Amino acid sequence: MPIVRFLEVRIRSLGLKNGKFVRFNRIAIMLLALGLIGIGLMACSASIFGTKNNNNTGGSTIATGPMTTATRPAITSTLPAFSHIFIIVMENKDEDALDNNPDAPYLTKLAAQYASADNFYGIRHPSLPNYMAMTGGDTFGIEHDCIDCFVNQDNLAAQLEVKGHSWKGYMESMPAPCFVGDALPLYKQKHNPFIYYDNIRKDPARCNKIVPLTQLEPDLQANTVPDFVWITPNLCNDTHDCPIKTGDQWLQIWVPKILASPAWQKGGVLFITYDEGKGDKGCCTVAVGGQVVTLVISPLVQPGFVSSVAYSHYSFLRTVEEAWGLPLLGYAGCDCTKPMTDFFVKKSP
């Protein structure tokens, strides 16, 4: 190693030539050199990915660094300009666990009636990085389901407001709008990505758009539902803590309410996805969070269509951004991330 040889020569030039001393110091010098190389690599990594600090009280990761901007400007898209976009995010079930599962008859029915992605992947483990990816185009160095790892970063909600689109996050079992923290046994903040963004949490007008799920039904009935609707079921109904059958029954209650609304019927789309699967199956260069079920439910899809294109949660974000002419955030703007256009393009016979 050249750096080790260089330091050894410098020591010899100072006259420290006792054999034992030199042999001892060669080991020390090697350790010193390796340490310097490691520090350099860590500094390089921090400059690229942002700084993170794992504290000892909760294993949380503090993601810091300057706010990022979109990696690519808005582009012309062949996607429909959806009237409304809904997404329901379920939890921790691999595609193999749900495929034709007798405990998920309603999910199976929806897949047959509308469209599904057969090659869709989470970004990584555990839950929170996937939620950040879907809303910010990056995991921002977050590696844990932390509570205090807030980020000063651009995000989908802020983008929507700039473009004139309304939005809300509906969180089941959250005790109050703009609530920060966990409310056990059924609500955990890690499934509410919007609260982690400084420019949402610290802005009362924005933060009060994160509301309990109980507000969704009145909004649907009054036809005042916002353009973009994010729905997080509680820890039982999202199948995180309860069986697949429980989640399927919950979907059978809420999905028909969405599909009965003018917001969905007049050019809307509903995505149902799971945050992560088992293992490290992945695609698209950056997704290694396991294969998950993702349904695309819309009057605009080809009934029964099954896509074999490799997609990830970044593809969902890119699809929203392209459809509504928004700049592409983070990995949503990567050439490795494809928009979900094939669901809405009729194939030749």
Residue pLDDT, tens place only, 104-123: 999 999 999 999 999 999 99
**Residues 105 and 227 placed together within one structural domain of the fold:** yes
Query: Would the CA dihedral through 8, 11, 13, 17 be positive or negative?
Result: negative
Say whether both 251 and 327 belong to one domain: yes
Is residue 55, in this structure, part of any structural domain at all? no
* Nearest of 182, 177, 234 to residue 207 by alpha carbon: 177
Say how many domains are in the chain: 2
Closest to 117 in 3D by CA, of 306, 317, 347: 306
Q: Could you read off the pLDDT of 52-75 as tens digits, one per residue?
A: 333 322 333 444 444 555 767 777
The pair of three-digit structure tokens given for residue 66, joined into one six-digit string = 């300057």
**Residue 283: phi, psi to the nearest 5?**
-165, 180
CA distances from residue 309 to 79, 101, 179 in whole angstroms, order as listed: 16, 23, 38
For the cut 90, the answer to whether the pLDDT of residue 23 exceeds it is no
Q: Where are the alpha helices (DSSP H) in the chain?
A: 2-13, 19-49, 95-98, 105-113, 127-136, 156-163, 198-201, 204-207, 216-221, 244-259, 262-265, 313-323
- The 10s digit of each residue's pLDDT in 147-198 is 999 999 999 999 999 999 999 999 999 999 999 999 999 999 999 999 999 9
Band of pLDDT at residue 42, cut at 50, 70 and 90: very low
Tokens of residue 276, six digits: 């992560």
Identify any residues that bridge with 212 across adjacent strands, giving them in sequence order: 171
Q: Which domain holds residue 301?
A: 66-344
Q: In terms of domains, do 258 and 212 share one?
A: yes
141 and 240 in one domain?
Answer: yes
Task: Say which residue, 27 or 196, is predicted with more confidence.
Answer: 196
pLDDT tens digits, residue range 239-270?
A: 999 999 999 999 999 999 999 999 999 999 99
Compute the mean pLDDT over every residue in the chain, rounded to the nearest whole number.
85
Residue 34 confidence (pLDDT) above 60:
no
**Domain identity same for 186 and 89:** yes
Higher pLDDT, 341 or 50: 341
Evaluate whether residue 91 is within a structural domain: yes
Adjacent-strand bridge partners of 271: 87, 296
* Residue 264 domain-assigned (yes or no): yes
The CB density around residue 25, as the number of other CB atoms within 10 Å, is 17
Q: How many residues does the chain have?
A: 349
Mean pLDDT, residues 18-40: 42
Q: Average pLDDT for residues 15-25, to the nearest whole number?
A: 39
pLDDT value of position 68: 56
Pair 240, 277 in one domain: yes
Give the count of beta carbons closer than 10 Å to the beta carbon of residue 211. Answer: 18
Residue with tokens 């709008």: 177
Q: 191 with 296, same domain?
A: yes
Q: pLDDT above 70 covers what percent of the chain?
A: 79
Residues 230-240: b if buried by 16+ CB within 10 A, e if exposed: bbbbbbbbbbb
Higher pLDDT, 236 or 23: 236
Does 158 share its domain with 222? yes
